C-alpha cells in the first residue's frame, strides 16, 4: 500500500496541483518558498501524524482570497490492509504496464476545509472534514483508520537529542514499546525492577532512611492524625513491587513497563559526553525507521522528513540517502517505507535516482518519473552514474546553461555580469557536460512527454545548451606554402565533414546539432562559427583575445588578414582555461577604467555627492554593456538573454564601484 497520487486545490501557494508519486522515495527539491513544505503539510494535515503535535487549517492556508480548499490523497495496492477500511474503498479500472485493462480497490482520503462567518474563542472557525470516495462524498474517515494512516513526521530544525531523551510519551519509549524483544521480555524487565526496588528500600538502604525522615519529620507533621496510618512517603521505580508482581493483570504490567521505558534515554556513547547535532540526527532517524518497520502491521509506513541534511557532513548526507533508499518500498522490497523528503542539498540530489526527484517552483511540481520526462531507461542509468554535486545544481536552478568547454564555464558568468545580467540574480546555473551526447540526457529531464502543444505543462526552468558549430574555414588548413599562415588543421578523409566548404549551408550543420530538442522551454544555441574563442575574436574582441594570449598588445599589427584568418590565429594559440580567466580580467579592467573616467569628469562638488557618483557609475555600466554587447558573438548574447528573461528576480542594486576605482 502506498500513496500514488495527490491533488491539491487552493492550499497555500498551490492553486491546482495534480501529482503522481513514487512508491518508495520522493525527493522534493526547489528554491525557498517553492512549495516543498506546503506539499509535506498537505499530506500530514490530511493524514495526521503519530507524534504529539497537531496541525490545524488556518486562514493563511487558503490560496490567495479563496474560501475553500481541498487535498485528496489516493492509495493503491491496498489489498493487504483492505480489511481495516473496506467500507471506505472505491473501485476503478486501470491499465497495467502491458496495456491490459484491470480493476482494483483504491482508498481516497480527502480533506476539505471551508471558511465560515463564525468565531470560536476569538478565532475564525474553519469547517474541516476528512472523507473517503473519489469525489470526497464517501464515509467520514474514523479515528481508528486515521490512526493507521498517520504519518511519521520529522520536522526541520528538530531537536534529535531531546526526542531521544526520557519523558512522558517520549519518542524513544514509543520505539522501545513497539519492539517485539521488549514485549516478549516484559516479565523479565519488571522482575529486575522489582528486585531493584527491594534492594533500594531495604532497612539499611539510604533511600529507605531518607523516605522515613521525610515521612516522620515533615509529612506527618503537616497532616491530620487520622491520615497518618494511610499516607506516607514511598520511593520506588515505576511502582513495581516484588510481592504484587505475580498477580498483576497484563494491562497493569504494560502500564508499569511503559513508565519504565519513559525513564530511559538513548545516547551515542556510554560516557554521555556531548556530541554534535549531526550524529544525533542520524541516531534519531535510524530509530524512527526502526519504529516504522516494527509497526508495519499496525500503521501505514509513510515517512515525511524535512531537510535530512541538517547538520550532516556531505559524505554522511549521501550515506543517509543510501540507507533510506535501502529501506524504501520497491517491487523487490514490498514491505519497505514510502518516504517524502525535502532538501536543498545538491549532494543528496546527486546521489538520488533522477526518477525519484520532484522539482517544485511557483506553485507547480514536476516529477522526473520515467513516464513524465522524455528520458529513456538508458538515459536514467547514465544520469544515475554521472550526476555529481555540481551537475545536480540543475535541480535547483530557475535557469540552466549547459556548456561543453571550460572557456564557456568561466567566461559566461563574467560576460553576463558585464552585460548587467548577473546570472546569480536570476537563479541561473552553468553546468558543464562531459561529452557531445550527454547534454541530450540533461535536456530531456526538462522535456515533458506529450506536452509540446500545452505550454502550461512545460517545465518552467529556462534551459539553454551552447554547442560549437565545429566547421573549419579553409584558412585553418595547414599548408606547406605560406598561403594559410595561421593554419593548424590537416585535411584528411577522416575529418572532411568538419570543413565548412563541404556543407551546402551552415543551417544543415546546426540542425544536426539541435537533434530535434529545441522546443518547450529548451533553447539550443549553436556558435555562429567554429568555437567560442574563434567567435569572440571574429565578432569584435580580437584585440582583447590577442592581449589575453600574449599578455599585451605588442605585435598585434603583425596579425593581418580577414576576420576568419585573424580568428584562426587566436584559436591556434589558445590555452583555454588561462585564456578565459585572462580575457575576463581584461574586460573587467576596461569597465573599471570607464567607471573611473566617468567619475573623473565630474565636478568637484559632484565627486563629493554619493548620488552623483552612483549615477555616473550606473551610466558607465550601461554604456559599457551596450558597447560589449555589440562586440560579442550573437549566440552568446541570445543565450544569456534567454535564461534571464521573464525572471521574477528584482534588478540587483548598483554595485558601489566608487571606492574600488
Quickly state the pLDDT bin for 651 (edges 50, 70, 90): very low
Per-residue CA distances from 189 to 165, 182, 524 (Å):
20, 8, 69
The reported pLDDT for the residue numbered 650 is: 41
Give CA–CA dist 545/563, Å, rounded: 13
> Is-contact 640 415, C-beta < 8 A?
yes
Give CA–CA dist 89/95, Å, rounded: 19
> Is-contact 349 449, C-beta < 8 A?
no
Q: What is 383-412 written as a DSSP string?
A: HHHH--TTGGGGGT-SEEEEESSHHHHHHH
What's the pLDDT tens digit per position in 320-363? 888 888 888 888 888 889 999 999 888 888 888 899 999 998 88
Give CA–CA dist 369/77, Å, rounded: 19
The reported pLDDT for the residue numbered 657 is: 47
Is the pLDDT score of 173 beyond 50? yes
The reported pLDDT for the residue numbered 159 is: 60
Radius of gyration of the CA atoms of the chain, in A: 34
The reported pLDDT for the residue numbered 161 is: 62
Per-residue CA distances from 598 to 99, 319, 420, 661 (Å):
70, 55, 17, 11
Give CA–CA dist 54/208, Å, rounded: 43
- Among the listed residues 475, 538, 468, the one whose alpha carbon sits nearest the alpha carbon of residue 509: 468
- Among the listed residues 69, 73, 56, the one whose alpha carbon sits nearest the alpha carbon of residue 6: 73
Give CA–CA dist 361/325, Å, rounded: 25
Quickly state the pLDDT bin for 271 (edges 50, 70, 90): low
What's the pLDDT tens digit per position in 565-624? 999 999 999 987 899 999 999 999 999 999 999 999 888 788 778 888 999 999 999 999
Report the DSSP beta bridge partners of residue 29. 343, 359
The reported pLDDT for the residue numbered 658 is: 43
What's the pLDDT tens digit per position in 105-141? 999 999 999 999 898 877 889 999 999 999 999 999 9
- Burial (CB count within 10 angstroms: exposed 0-12, middle 13-18, buried 19+), residue 571: buried
Give CA–CA dist 309/278, Å, rounded: 8
Q: What is the pTM of this model?
A: 0.81
Quickly state the pLDDT bin for 659 (edges 50, 70, 90): very low
Retrieve residue 420's grid coordinates: 548587467
Mean of the pLDDT values across residues 142-165?
79
Mean of the pLDDT values across residues 378-400?
85
More confident residue, 520 or 294: 520
Is the pLDDT score of 272 beyond 80? no
- Among the listed residues 42, 48, 82, the one whose alpha carbon sits nearest the alpha carbon of residue 63: 42
The reported pLDDT for the residue numbered 26 is: 96
Task: Quote the percentage of the chain above a pLDDT of 90.
Answer: 50
How many residues does this entry show for the chain?
Answer: 661
Give residues with Cβ within 8 angstroms of 485, minimum separation 6: 561, 565
Retrieve residue 125's grid coordinates: 472557525
Q: Could you tell me the residue ranges of all domains in the chain? A: 2-161+299-367, 397-644
The reported pLDDT for the residue numbered 162 is: 67
Mean of the pLDDT values across residues 212-235?
84
- The CATH code of the domain at 2-161+299-367 is 3.40.50.300
What's the pLDDT tens digit per position in 521-578? 999 999 999 999 999 999 999 999 999 999 999 999 999 999 999 999 999 999 878 9
> What rounded mean pLDDT belongs to the chain?
87
Can you list the pairs that 205-213 forms with residues at least 24 positions away whose Cβ atoms lie under 8 Å? Answer: 207/235, 210/235, 211/235
- Among the listed residues 243, 133, 145, 130, the one whose alpha carbon sits nearest the alpha carbon of residue 194: 243
Give residues with Cβ within 8 angstroms of 486, minimum separation 6: 475, 476, 561, 565, 566, 568, 569, 572
What's the pLDDT tens digit per position in 8-59? 999 999 999 999 999 999 999 988 888 999 999 999 999 998 876 777 899 9
> Is-contact 414 407, C-beta < 8 A?
no
What's the pLDDT tens digit per position in 360-386? 988 899 999 988 999 998 889 888 888
Q: Do the bridges between strand 25-29 and strand 14-20 make them parallel or antiparallel, or are there none, so unpaired?
A: unpaired
Q: Return the axis-axis angle of helices 406-418 and 610-631, rounded to nearest 10°.
A: 140
Quote the Cα angle for 341-151-123, to 5°: 100
- Among the listed residues 527, 529, 528, 577, the one whose alpha carbon sits nearest the alpha carbon of residue 549: 577
The helix or strand, by DSSP H or E, that contains position 299, with its residue range, turns out to be none
Amino acid at each position: 500500500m502506498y500513496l500514488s497520487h495527490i491533488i491539491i486545490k487552493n492550499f497555500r501557494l498551490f492553486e491546482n496541483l495534480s501529482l503522481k508519486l513514487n512508491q518508495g522515495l520522493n525527493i522534493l527539491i526547489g528554491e525557498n518558498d517553492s512549495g516543498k513544505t506546503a506539499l509535506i503539510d498537505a499530506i500530514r494535515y490530511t493524514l495526521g501524524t503519530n507524534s504529539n503535535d497537531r496541525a490545524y487549517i488556518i486562514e493563511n492556508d487558503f490560496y490567495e482570497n479563496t474560501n475553500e480548499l481541498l487535498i485528496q490523497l489516493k492509495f493503491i495496492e491496498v489489498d493487504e490492509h483492505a480489511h481495516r477500511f473496506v467500507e471506505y474503498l472505491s473501485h476503478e479500472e486501470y491499465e497495467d504496464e502491458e496495456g491490459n485493462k484491470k480493476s482494483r480497490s483504491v482508498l481516497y482520503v480527502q480533506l476539505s476545509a471551508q471558511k465560515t462567518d463564525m468565531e470560536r474563542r476569538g478565532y475564525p472557525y474553519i469547517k474541516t472534514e476528512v472523507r473517503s470516495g473519489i469525489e470526497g462524498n464517501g464515509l467520514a474517515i474514523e479515528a481508528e483508520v486515521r490512526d493507521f494512516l498517520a504519518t511519521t513526521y520529522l520536522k526541520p530544525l528538530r531537536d534529535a537529542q531531546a526526542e531521544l531523551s526520557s519523558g512522558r510519551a517520549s519518542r524513544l519509549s514509543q520505539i522501545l514499546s513497539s519492539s517485539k524483544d521488549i514485549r516478549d521480555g516484559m516479565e523479565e524487565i519488571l522482575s529486575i525492577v522489582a528486585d531493584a526496588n527491594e534492594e533500594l528500600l531495604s532497612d539499611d538502604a539510604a533511600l529507605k532512611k531518607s523516605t522515613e525522615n521525610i515521612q516522620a519529620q515533615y509529612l506527618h507533621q503537616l497532616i491530620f492524625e487520622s491520615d497518618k496510618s494511610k499516607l506516607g512517603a514511598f520511593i520506588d521505580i515505576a511502582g513495581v513491587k516484588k510481592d504484587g508482581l505475580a498477580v498483576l493483570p497484563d494491562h497493569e504490567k504494560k502500564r508499569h513497563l511503559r513508565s519504565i521505558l519513559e525513564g530511559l534515554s538513548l545516547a551515542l556513547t556510554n560516557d554521555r559526553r556531548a556530541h554534535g547535532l549531526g550524529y544525533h540526527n542520524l541516531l534519531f532517524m535510524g530509530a524512527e525507521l526502526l519504529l516504522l518497520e516494527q509497526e508495519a502491521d499496525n500503521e501505514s509506513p509513510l515517512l515525511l522528513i524535512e531537510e535530512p541534511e541538517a547538520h550532516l557532513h556531505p559524505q554522511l548526507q549521501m550515506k543517509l540517502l543510501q540507507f533510506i533508499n535501502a529501506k524504501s518500498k520497491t517491487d523487490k522490497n514490498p514491505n519497505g517505507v514510502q518516504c517524502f523528503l525535502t532538501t536543498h542539498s545538491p549532494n543528496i540530489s546527486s546521489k538520488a535516482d533522477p526518477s525519484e526527484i520532484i522539482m517544485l517552483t511557483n506553485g507547480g511540481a514536476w516529477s522526473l518519473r520515467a513516464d513524465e520526462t522524455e528520458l529513456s531507461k538508458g538515459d536514467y542509468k547514465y544520469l544515475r552514474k554521472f550526476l555529481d554535486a555540481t551537475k545536480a545544481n540543475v535541480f535547483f536552478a530557475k535557469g540552466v546553461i549547459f556548456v561543453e568547454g571550460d572557456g564557456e564555464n568561466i567566461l559566461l558568468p563574467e560576460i553576463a555580469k558585464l552585460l548587467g545580467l548577473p546570472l546569480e540574480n536570476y537563479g541561473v546555473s552553468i553546468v558543464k557536460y562531459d561529452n557531445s551526447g550527454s547534454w541530450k540526457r540533461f535536456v530531456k529531464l526538462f522535456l515533458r512527454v506529450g506536452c509540446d502543444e500545452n505550454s502550461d505543462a512545460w517545465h518552467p526552468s529556462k534551459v539553454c545548451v551552447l554547442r560549437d558549430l565545429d566547421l573549419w574555414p579553409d584558412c585553418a588548413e595547414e599548408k606547406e606554402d605560406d598561403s594559410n599562415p595561421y593554419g593548424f588543421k590537416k585535411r584528411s578523409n577522416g575529418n572532411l565533414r568538419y570543413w565548412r566548404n563541404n556543407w551546402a549551408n551552415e543551417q544543415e550543420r546546426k540542425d544536426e546539432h539541435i537533434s530535434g530538442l529545441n522546443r518547450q522551454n529548451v533553447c539550443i544555441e549553436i556558435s555562429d562559427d567554429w568555437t567560442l574563442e574563434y567567435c569572440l575574436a571574429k565578432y569584435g574582441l580580437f584585440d582583447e583575445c590577442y592581449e589575453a594570449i600574449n599578455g599585451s598588445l605588442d605585435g598585434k599589427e603583425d596579425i593581418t588578414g580577414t576576420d576568419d584568418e585573424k580568428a584562426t590565429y587566436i584559436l591556434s594559440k589558445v590555452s583555454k582555461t588561462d585564456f578565459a580567466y585572462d580575457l575576463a580580467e581584461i574586460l573587467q579592467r576596461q569597465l573599471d577604467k570607464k567607471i573611473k573616467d566617468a567619475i573623473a569628469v565630474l565636478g568637484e562638488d559632484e565627486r563629493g555627492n554619493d548620488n552623483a557618483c552612483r549615477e555616473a557609475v550606473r551610466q558607465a555600466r550601461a554604456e559599457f554593456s551596450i558597447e560589449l554587447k555589440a562586440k560579442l558573438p550573437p549566440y552568446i548574447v541570445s543565450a544569456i538573454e534567454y535564461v534571464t528573461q521573464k525572471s521574477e528576480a528584482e534588478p540587483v542594486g548598483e554595485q558601489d564601484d566608487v571606492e574600488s576605482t
